[in-house]
């Protein structure tokens, strides 16, 4: 009986140790809810997420969800992530208002949720790792208006209506226009192309027909739409260099267009946003012993403070793409 009791105790101790070791080695499961994965910028975020040191080492495991540009689909995927007991959720939301449910439901389940890239109209998330879209919209519009010397006619190609990018980049666009002399800049058209190069091409073709020889500048709220406008200009037999054009994101084709002198791009750091989000998510799950592993905290030292992973918002800096830095940015895509 004594031998049996000792064996039982030994077995229980072994199981306890094994369970503890498993708890230490099991990866942190993070659901990453992307609004849609067709655009290169989102694809870059996914790529850089997989390259995060904690993911490479197996400390964290990412599960990506394609929201298919539909807020209700994203909400359903958020609930699925909760039901499957993910340790944390990172969400790149489609809609400023409609996707608040993801934060609400995650909070109810006790799951930390980090909002990245786009924003939500709530302060109840664990943290945000974003770039200031008002500033981004301002920078791109200033590039166009600077080239036009604050005089002429522009069109604005907007992001999906109701998304924070469209709302806040639009505010930045308006801020830049308001700094020009009153009445010096006319906005001939503004309409959404839903972040799509193809939709922007169609839109720009229509505008070139409706306003022949009148459009001087194109303010596109992302690079894909700026590139669609460039294609439309070429298709119309016009010279791209006769237009002042700007976009946001720093996607690869836009970097090439900057190098060719065809447009300005304001780089939104996909690596910074997703890897910063992963570090903040891991800090929320693992506690104060966690130290950030992404290179971005050193890259932006002085402009981006880790603050023990406890800040309500982290602003990843913008970079205006120029002739001086475009080659280095293109080399990073190889």
Domain boundaries, the chain: 8-130+271-316, 133-267
In the CATH scheme, what is the code of domain 133-267?
3.40.50.2300
Residue 3 confidence class, pLDDT cut points 50, 70, 90: very low
pLDDT > 70 fraction of the chain, expressed in percent and rounded: 93
pLDDT for residue 237 is more than 90: yes
pLDDT of residue 24: 57
323-334 in b/e form (b: 16+ CB < 10 A) is eeebeebbeeee
DSSP assignment of 211-257 equals STTT--EEEESSHHHHHHHHHHHHHTT--GGGSEEEEEE--HHHHHH
pLDDT of residue 39: 85
Q: Is 80 exposed, middle or buried (0-12, 13-18, 19+ CB in 10 A)?
A: middle
Residues 119 and 316 sit within 8 Å (Cβ to Cβ): no
pLDDT of residue 333: 82
Report DSSP state, residue 317.
P
Angle made by CA atoms 316, 321, 324, in degrees to the nearest 5: 120
CB atoms within 10 A of CB 317: 16
Averaged over 63-72, what is the pLDDT?
97
Residue 280 confidence class, pLDDT cut points 50, 70, 90: very high
pLDDT for residue 102 is more than 90: yes
Contacts of 222 (CB under 8 A, 6+ apart): 39, 41, 159, 165, 195, 247, 248, 249
pLDDT > 90 fraction of the chain, expressed in percent and rounded: 90
Sign of CA dihedral 35, 39, 40, 41: negative
Averaged over 214-225, what is the pLDDT?
98
**Joined tokens for residue 189:** 């058209």
pLDDT in tens, 82-100: 999 999 999 999 999 999 9
pTM for the model: 0.86
CB atoms within 10 A of CB 261: 10
Do 133-267 and 8-130+271-316 fall under one CATH topology? yes
Residue 25 confidence class, pLDDT cut points 50, 70, 90: confident
pLDDT for residue 57 is more than 80: yes
pLDDT of residue 45: 97
pLDDT for residue 207 is more than 80: yes
pLDDT for residue 31 is more than 60: yes
pLDDT for residue 14 is more than 60: no
Averaged over 24-42, what is the pLDDT?
91
DSSP assignment of 157-175 equals EE-STTSHHHHHHHHHHHH
Distances (CA, A) of 107 to 60, 96, 245, 284: 21, 18, 42, 13
Four-way CATH pick for 8-130+271-316: 3.40.50.2300, 3.40.630.30, 3.40.50.300, 3.30.420.40: 3.40.50.2300
Question: Average pLDDT, whole number, for the chain?
Answer: 93
**Phi/psi of residue 231, nearest 5 degrees:** -60, -40
């Amino acid at each position: 009986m004594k031998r049996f009791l000792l064996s039982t105790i030994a077995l229980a101790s072994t199981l306890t140790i094994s369970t503890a070791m498993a708890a230490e080695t099991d990866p942190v499961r993070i659901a990453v809810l992307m609004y849609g994965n067709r655009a290169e910028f989102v694809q870059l975020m996914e790529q850089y997420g997989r390259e995060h040191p904690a993911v490479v080492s197996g400390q964290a495991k990412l599960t990506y969800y394609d929201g298919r540009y539909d807020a209700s689909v994203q909400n359903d995927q958020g609930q699925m992530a909760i039901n499957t007991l993910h340790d944390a959720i990172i969400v790149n939301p489609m809609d400023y208002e409609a996707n608040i449910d993801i934060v609400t439901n995650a909070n109810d389940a006790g799951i930390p949720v980090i909002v990245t890239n786009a924003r939500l109209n709530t302060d109840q998330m664990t943290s945000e790792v974003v770039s200031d879209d008002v500033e981004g919209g301002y920078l791109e519009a200033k590039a166009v208006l600077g080239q036009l010397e604050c005089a002429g006619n522009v069109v604005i190609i907007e992001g999906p209506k109701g998304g924070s990018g469209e709302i806040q980049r639009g505010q930045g666009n308006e801020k830049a226009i308001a700094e020009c002399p009153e009445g010096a800049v006319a906005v001939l058209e503004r309409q959404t192309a839903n972040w799509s190069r193809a939709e922007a091409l169609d839109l720009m073709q229509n505008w070139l027909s409706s306003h022949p020889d009148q459009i001087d500048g194109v303010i596109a709220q992302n690079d894909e739409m700026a590139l669609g406008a460039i294609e439309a200009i070429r298709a119309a037999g016009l010279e791209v260099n006769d237009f002042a054009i700007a976009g946001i994101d720093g996607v690869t084709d836009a970097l090439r267009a900057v190098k060719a002198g065809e447009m300005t791009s304001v780089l939104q750091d996909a690596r910074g946003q997703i890897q910063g989000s992963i570090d903040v998510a891991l800090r929320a799950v693992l506690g104060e012993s966690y130290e950030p592993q992404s290179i971005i905290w050193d890259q932006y030292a002085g402009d981006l403070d880790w603050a023990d992973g406890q800040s309500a918002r982290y602003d990843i800096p913008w970079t205006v793409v120029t002739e001086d830095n475009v080659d280095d940015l293109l080399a990073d895509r190889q």
